[in-house]
A and B are shown apart, each in its own frame.
Chain A
């Protein structure tokens, strides 16, 4: 019974999560209308490490605090009942046949090591929690890889039927396609850099369930480790009555491998509160409840035994990671950052940005033009998978503020439209060697045509040029007004010189930086 209630609860949370994921898309207005980042808001690991690394308190913390409180009261119910990645792990794990002969690996210490490493690093301003945090990982993997792949597969299938043009069949397929577009397909096919890599990583994590069910949750998840620590003294406790005949039936279905057969000496921190042991016990000897005294002898709950060496080792690793990740040559460029490191509008100054960004991919999911892409090493190793605008793929829509609205930690500030329209994320420059009116005596004015600032940042100079035949032509040659250009990249995206455009944006002049400036 409890099992069914739990599965239903997990299903509801997973569906809510997926539904909010699908709503993380523009419908033409500048508001999404749904609290799409609510799962990230409720993530205590992101909450704690962000505060440590950025020394700033961010807005929606009450949800994370609620999860902390729930864990102190009820144990790791978040892991067992709520976490969408946990539920997906459950689902994949269900594919694995029960292997009674195989004992669990019992590598629980691994995730605590990771947690210590991440917390130490964040204490010294290095925020790389997002790489491992389950909610970040899930949203990033879905946004940048799984969802685009699913969309591609669906579109390719429907396109095939469309092109076959078989009277009834194509009609049916087009009807389903229209329905799918309404329900779950993205407005346009998303494309992302590193999508293959991110997808393989995600499927690898899911695949670990075939080695051992909930492998990730038990041995790797740093959020699980944090909640495990908080749940050590949880009020919700487990009691095993005299009726237990040590048959061991509970051990096979224990989702956390918390040694439920050890009665009072089970590992409370590893319990995901799935209550399978209660449900399955043939003797009905297991019970969950709020008991006055958990341990008759008064000894503490069986604690996680990491050993001093591991703890000290991980603290030192966390410390060492900070300078190690920051001695790349990218960090030494007199004032300037990587020219291609164009951050979304409203991004904090790079140092603070990296301290806040948890690489969840929400901004990339919501970006209306698909221009926000996961960074590789443009921002150093610590900036991997943080958002970068690649104007060739998509520009920054002038009147859109969605990326700031979905950012869970405020790495991209939520801006009013009037403020956003004035934020400069870079500056466009013209490559006269490729530009048609300059290099090839051919008329063109696309960059000027599309420039979105009220007074256009691209202006045209009438110039007399002579073509090969000696004919004099009057052409409009574009110039960028450095005061007006906001670096949105629309000109670069629409420049007819495909591949390597004749006008392109680099990060110079970005509002958020004091140093990366051009004008006096």
Chain B
């Protein structure tokens, strides 16, 4: 079953999954196949900890098959330098691209629907240069490539999503951990907003439900939270180095909800504090109960 078929079935099955009972079964079958559910890697080299985290999950080859078209989706939303922790660490991005090619990926595409001017975001974040150097095909969002996708959701019935993201064989989500609003965080699920078109500002009226609906449709193969630096205040745009904390950490996992739940602990919070994590857990998108998950911590 390729990704496209999988997506189609997921979208159809989305409603069914949302019914309690069926969801648990689905997750258990997934869990059974894995060694560890989540990996948290620490170390001074962003590239090395990224590789270690992926290896801890079974290696890149358990995610990427030969000939895959892969989309790597970092956060390139803002016009900030990497030190300000508003955009994904470029070294983490290039490490993932390199690994994908090592696993035989045909092409690795990199893009994000930036909030401010994309030229500045791509350039100033360092991601354009780093990803290109690693062989990634970096492109700006082309407005023609959004197509209306039916979502089986509660909050969103349908929304224009980026076709290149939907049609890729594999989707790897690489958010950066940041604060957002007053106390909520932007982690993996929130980063998926980068493939949404139209007037995304409206999403905030029902952010939790919308993010779950979106995550149901996208279903990344792998989510890697970049916490080399995290932004602890004035997020998501930041701008003050005093708000940045150097954690030299990445978190990786297959389950978006679990990854976000573990990501919350970086800020001294729990998954239960984040509305969309709770909503995702309830909808059967993933498991936020960290006590039931195998978490591997690695120091590199």
Contacts and interface: CB of A to CB of B under 8 A. Distances in A.
Contact of B181 (A26, A449, A454): A449
Interface stretch (A44-52, A274-282, A494-502): A494-502
B201 interface: yes
B234 to A, nearest CB: 5
A444 B204 contact: yes
A35 interface: no
A417 to B, nearest CB: 11
B201 A397 contact: no
Given A443-B207, A450-B237, A495-B201, A368 B120 contact: yes
Interface string A448-488: 11111111100010100000000000001000000000000
A442 to B, nearest CB: 5
Given A27-B123, A28-B120, A162-B144, A496 B181 contact: no
A159 B206 CA distance: 34
Nearest to B125: A28
A495 B199 CA distance: 10
A28 B204 contact: no
Given A452-B237, A454-B234, A498-B199, A397 B117 contact: yes
A443 B205 CA distance: 5
B115 A369 contact: no
Interface in B194-234: 199, 201-202, 204-207, 234
Interface in A9-43: 26-29
B124 A399 contact: yes
B171 interface: no
A364 interface: no
Measured as residues with beta carbon below 8 angstroms from the partner, the interface class of chain B is 20 to 34
Interface string B105-127: 00000000001110110111000
Nearest to A494: B201
Interface in A360-406: 368-369, 397-400
B199 A449 contact: no
Measured as residues with beta carbon below 8 angstroms from the partner, the interface class of chain A is 35 or more
A56 B207 CA distance: 54
Contact of A397 (B120, B199, B204, B239): B120
B238 interface: yes
Nearest to B241: A454
A29 B80 CA distance: 11
Nearest to B116: A397
Contact of B119 (A27, A450, A476): A27
Contact of B240 (A445, A455, A460, A490): A455
B260 interface: no
A446 interface: yes
Contacts of A495: 201
Contacts of A442: 205
A28 B122 contact: yes
B206 to A, nearest CB: 8
A29 B119 CA distance: 8
Contacts of B236: 449
A19 to B, nearest CB: 19
Contact of A28 (B115, B128, B199, B201): B128
Interface in A174-214: 187
Contacts of A455: 234, 240
Nearest to B117: A368
B63 to A, nearest CB: 30
A459 to B, nearest CB: 9
Given A445-B181, A449-B181, A496-B199, A399 B205 contact: no
B122 A454 contact: no
A443 B204 contact: yes
Contacts of B117: 26, 368-369, 397, 400
A119 interface: no
B91 interface: no
B79 interface: yes
A283 B138 CA distance: 65
Tell which of A27, A450, A453 has the most Cβ of chain B within 10 Å: A450
A520 B152 CA distance: 54
Contacts of B120: 26, 28, 368, 397, 399-400
B33 interface: no
A443 B144 CA distance: 30
26 contacts: A27-B119, A28-B122, A28-B124, A28-B128, A159-B144, A368-B119, A368-B120, A369-B117, A398-B79, A399-B120, A399-B124, A400-B117, A444-B201, A444-B205, A446-B204, A448-B181, A451-B237, A452-B116, A452-B237, A452-B239, A454-B239, A454-B243, A460-B181, A490-B116, A496-B201, A496-B204
Minimum-distance CB pairs A-B, first 7 = A28-B123, A454-B240, A496-B201, A454-B239, A28-B119, A446-B201, A368-B117
Given A369-B117, A490-B116, A496-B201, 7 more contacts: A28-B122, A28-B123, A398-B239, A443-B205, A454-B239, A455-B234, A456-B234
